[in-house]
Amino acid sequence: MQQNPDRIRLSEQPFRSLSPAVQRASTVVFDSLADFARRKERQPDGFSYGITGTPIARELESRVAALEGGGHCIVTPSGASALFLTIMGFVRGGDHLLVSASCYGSLKTFATKWLAEFGVDVELFAPESGAEIEAMLRPNTRMICLEAPGTVTMEMADIPAVVEVARRRGVLTMMDNTWASPLAFRPLDVGVDFSIEAATKYFGGHSDLLAGTVSMRDFAHYATLRETQSILGQQTSPDDCFLILRGLETFKLRFEAQAASALRVASWLNAHPAVDEVLFPALPGSRGHAIWQRDFRGHGCLLSIVLQPAPEAAFEAFFDTLRMFVIGASWGGVHSLAAYYPAPLQRDRAFPLTDRAIVRLSIGLEDCDALIADLDTALQAFDRTRA
């Protein structure tokens, strides 16, 4: 076949995809020995080895930083690693660390088991704390770890009041903001130093990846955390960064639709006789609602319920009757999930909210009437087994 001599060679044709390029790399290539020798000078933003990041990680970080209203962001391989990274960057043996008693479980375990053994003085505080936290501060208090609403039990802290005290006393603050996401609350706007999201949840949105983000305004903090990230080997796969960027394209729509359904489900559950309490600060009349209303401009799709006292078999009947809700941990994806937190877990906690089992529901994008019908059937099974 005759070749057209004027035809542009394929490799010389311009090509621009609408989607971001995924460049995989452990090795980053340098043009000269001089460039290689100076590679550390490229930090905190540049590329020198896979562990310091790839272009798509930087693209994701700048998107999240913009959402959070911060100048800088670091993407990490999980939400848990984002929490640990932030502590490892700034907390040392001999420091005093304050951790909310209802913060994410593995952060609490990391603090009370690992950090305490490394000589950090770890102290849990009441999840609904505000300005009274000042009485707990010591000269060596380094950081306060916040989460609102709290994991599983959904207590609301008075974040602005805690931050006011912390800033005045020179203590760093970090907040796990996964429930609200930056669409409903921006911790950096009220002066929190580090805003942390489990990107596993809303940003990814499809229950198929793990990632986390730490966002901040202070450049020196950012440089410290970038170094900490590479020393600890906490880089995120470029393919996962791609999936999160794709998730972010529909994030706002998913967030709003799932939030609207979650509020409907919460109101319906609140009126159901088998339900003792709905833990969902966006619900009028619920615990923490006043603070939520004052500080947040939206809410997540995750809610907890305390059912009427019942034997274990009634909970089994409830869960095993569910058809649309899938039984599983995590949340924030397009599929609705149900998870169970047994009573001993609550009872053994510092500052317990209840000594009963908690059922946690993540509301997805399914038809809301069908989700409510599913819960209705499961609660009937619960009641039959309870009676």
Ligand X SMILES: *Cc1c(COP(=O)(O)O)cnc(C)c1O
Interface residues toward ligand X, by CB under 6 A: 78-80, 104, 151, 176, 178, 198, 200-201, 210, 212, 330
Beta pairing class for 172-176 and 141-147: parallel
H helices present in the chain, as ranges: 33-37, 55-68, 79-90, 105-109, 116-117, 159-168, 181-184, 219-231, 238-249, 251-270, 289-295, 312-321, 343-347, 368-386
Least distance (Å) between residue 190 CB and ligand X: 18
Minimum CB–partner distance for residue 207 and ligand X (Å) = 11
Based on CB atoms, which residue is closest to ligand X, 151 or 229?
Answer: 151
Structural contact between residues 317 and 308, judged by C-beta atoms closer than 8 angstroms: no
Looking at residue 8, the DSSP 8-state letter turns out to be: P
Contact 103, 146 (CB under 8 A): yes
Smaller CB distance to ligand X: residue 104 or 325? 104
Of residues 134, 145, 156, 151, the one with CA closest to residue 100 = 145
Structure tokens at 188: 């950096």
Which C-beta is closer to ligand X: that of 151 or that of 234? 151
What is the smallest separation between the CB atom of 192 and ligand X, expressed in angstroms?
15
Q: How far is the CB of 105 from ligand X (least distance, A)?
A: 9
**Residue 145 CB, nearest approach to ligand X (Å):** 11
Parallel, antiparallel or unpaired: strands 275-279 and 72-76 = unpaired
Query: Which of helix, strand or coil describes residue 128?
Result: coil
CB nearer ligand X, residue 148 or residue 310: 148
CB 348 → ligand X: shortest distance, Å?
Answer: 20
- Which C-beta is closer to ligand X: that of 240 or that of 383? 240
Helix or strand or coil: residue 302? Answer: strand
Task: Indicate the residue among 98 and 198 with the shorter CB distance to ligand X.
Answer: 198
- C-beta separation of 303 from 265 below 8 A: yes
Q: Residue with CB nearest ligand X?
A: 79
Query: Is the CB of 79 or the CB of 247 nearer to ligand X?
Result: 79
Q: How far apart are CA 59 and CA 45, in angstroms?
A: 11
Whole-number minimum distance, CB 231 to ligand X, in Å? 20
**Using only C-alpha atoms, what is the Rg of the chain?**
23
